[in-house]
Amino acid sequence: MAVRMPASLLGPAAPGFERPLDVLEACHGRIATQCDTLDKLLAHLPVHGADIQAQQAARAVLTYFDTAAVQHHDDEERNLFPLLEQTKAPGACDLVETLTLEHDELAQLWRRLRMQLAQIEAGSHATLDAALTRRFVAFNRAHLEFENTHVLPLARQVLDATAIERLGRAMAARRGVPFPG
């Protein structure tokens, strides 16, 4: 007789694209984790330099923000935000405008930080601009908090099942994976 492990020991299953708002929220959690890694890297570098751990951490952050975070912003800007604007919910257009501007600022900060992380990943440089790193991390955290407390609840309230499915299908297609079901 096979022993079944309780699901709680394996951790929660990642949401699928049939639940795109949950996917976006889970991505926010992964962005926060990468911000934690940046905080740790900032403390690690003065003591250990660009050692193997620092190089691996820099690589993980680079990989995430160069791929998944870009897809995440595309999910929001190309799909979620237009759907919210179409609902004509009070304040939705202002919300979308503010968040799009924040995405632009985050992208500018990332371009600057990315260069330094690439040097750390290569082992050729052992410092990060602390002010820039802290600004990037703080801005990301504030942005995520705002989206989690305002945007996702609004989307859950105003988007119907057809819009939710359209969002999920677009997100799956962006990643080249089949839509569930």
* pLDDT tier at 3, thresholds 50, 70, 90: very low
Q: Write the pLDDT tens digit of every residue in 56-91.
A: 999 999 999 999 999 999 999 999 999 999 999 999
Decide if pLDDT at 158 tops 70: yes
Whether the model clears a pTM of 0.85, i.e. scores above it, the answer is yes
Residues 6 or more apart whose Cβ sits within 8 Å of residue 153:
none
- Percent of the chain exceeding pLDDT 70 equals 93
pLDDT at 2: 42
* Closest among 35, 42, 67, 55 to 120, alpha carbons compared: 55
Residue type, 97: E
